Amino acid sequence: MSKKLKVAVVGCGGIANGKHLPSLSRLKDTVELVAFCDIIVERAEKAKEQYGAEGAKVYEDYKELLKDSSIDVVHVCTPNDSHAPITIAALEADKHVMCEKPMAKTAADARAMLEAAKRTGKKLTIGYNNRFRPDSQHLKKVAESGRLGEVYFAKAHAIRRRAVPTWGVFLDEEKQGGGPLIDIGTHALDLALWTMNNYKPKAVLGSVYHKLSHKENAANAFGSWDPKEFTVEDSAFGMITFENGATVVLESSWALNTLDVKEAKVTLCGTEGGADMEDGLRLNGEEFSRLWETKVDTGAGGVAFYSGSAETDPQLEARLWIEAILNDTDPVVLPEQALVVSEILEAIYESAKTGKTVYLNN
């Protein structure tokens, strides 16, 4: 691997600074951060100062950035409604693209992104970073090995008690396309489909609630929300059945009166065994007429006071993505898979509106 990829970041806000920039900047042998874009240009300037290679450039308009033919890769870290236009323009400008989750605001936009990737032959991946956690990685291996048998029931958990994101545009229906379902339900559903390896949904029934969003001075991890701004749902639930008869129950909330808080986790139930992410990764089954359960140590088993591993999940996500480009292999998160997640989320919203089951054609 001799070539260094020239990487640009569009949208220099929370996730760019929290995940993409620190992870990419570690890949000193393979990545150079050469361009930064934000409509709030000071954010792009700040990111350039902290992470930019020598001569790195700052842009206010992503279309100008895309004119630079030396850029190989673009990371799209903007609100959901701009994922599709920026990603499609970047693919058409001959760049590989990592776009943040969810793939897009609508399934039609996500489909257009996939088509653009196919048309241009460039790589496209979506930032479903929870796949790169040690528990998720291990569960994927367990499920692939067949030890769970046929997984016919799963739960996708995205439940917060009171953690409504009050910064940026998360409460804005127009910009984001929805609330907790499209924001965090998307991660849990992605984990469920990926670990089950089931991308053939058949029917979707959903319900969506705006039950707590009107409350003034609400307790909230990120500070009280403004009820006038909170136009998206505060919780949403879905039941998805699949062509092979499997069922997934998806539960998502930013604010719900519950003590059963679980986020970006799955529970899988198969004919030979089960798994959940309660307190790490647990497996369960039956043997010699007895039930068993076991806890998988997903740490490195290192020093007693330090359980860290050499690479965090965002770092692994970034490294494998860059290697997929350099080695011309598939990225871990395929756009085809992310599209199915978006189709199901949209079907939950539609079903909640109409009160009817939505049938998906594959």
Ligand X SMILES: NC(=O)c1ccc[n+]([C@@H]2O[C@H](COP(=O)([O-])OP(=O)(O)OC[C@H]3O[C@@H](n4cnc5c(N)ncnc54)[C@H](O)[C@@H]3O)[C@@H](O)[C@H]2O)c1
Binding-site ranges for ligand X (CB under 6 A): 10-16, 37-40, 43, 62, 77-80, 82, 100-101, 127, 129, 168, 183
Instruction: Kindly tell me which of 62 and 194 has the beta carbon lying closer to ligand X.
Output: 62
Residue 331's H or E segment, with its range, is: none
CB of 313 to ligand X, least distance (A): 10
CB of 62 to ligand X, least distance (A): 5
Instruction: Kindly tell me which of 80 and 106 has the beta carbon lying closer to ligand X.
Output: 80
Instruction: Kindly tell me which of 11 and 206 has the beta carbon lying closer to ligand X.
Output: 11
Position closest to ligand X via CB: 13
Instruction: Kindly tell me which of 122 and 131 has the beta carbon lying closer to ligand X.
Output: 131
Q: Please, what is the angle between helix 186-196 and helix 335-354, to 10°?
A: 120
Q: How many CB atoms lie within 10 A of CB 306?
A: 9
Instruction: Kindly tell me which of 80 and 252 has the beta carbon lying closer to ligand X.
Output: 80
Q: Measured between alpha carbons, how far is 132 from 279 in angstroms, rounded to an integer?
A: 17
Q: How many CB atoms lie within 10 A of CB 359?
A: 11
Q: Answer for the pair 49, 76: CB distance below 8 angstroms, yes or no.
A: no
Look at strands 274-276 and 281-287 and give their pairing.
antiparallel
The set of residues, in sequence order, having a beta carbon less than 8 Å from that of 222 and lying 6+ positions away, is 163, 164, 165, 166, 167
- What CA dihedral angle connects 233, 280, 332 and 52, to 10 degrees? 80
Residue type, 142: V
Instruction: Kindly tell me which of 132 and 242 has the beta carbon lying closer to ligand X.
Output: 132
Instruction: Kindly tell me which of 58 and 240 has the beta carbon lying closer to ligand X.
Output: 58
CB of 53 to ligand X, least distance (A): 20
CB of 183 to ligand X, least distance (A): 6
Residue type, 225: W
Q: Measured between alpha carbons, how far is 53 from 75 in angstroms, rounded to an integer?
A: 16
Q: How many CB atoms lie within 10 A of CB 18?
A: 12
CB of 290 to ligand X, least distance (A): 40
CB of 17 to ligand X, least distance (A): 8
CB of 249 to ligand X, least distance (A): 22
Residue type, 80: N
Give me the DSSP letters along 16-54. IIIIIHHHHHH-TTTEEEEEEE-SSHHHHHHHHHHHPPT
Instruction: Kindly tell me which of 157 and 358 has the beta carbon lying closer to ligand X.
Output: 157
Residue 117's H or E segment, with its range, is: helix 107-120
CB of 302 to ligand X, least distance (A): 26
Instruction: Kindly tell me which of 47 and 246 has the beta carbon lying closer to ligand X.
Output: 47
CB of 42 to ligand X, least distance (A): 10
Residue 137's H or E segment, with its range, is: helix 134-144
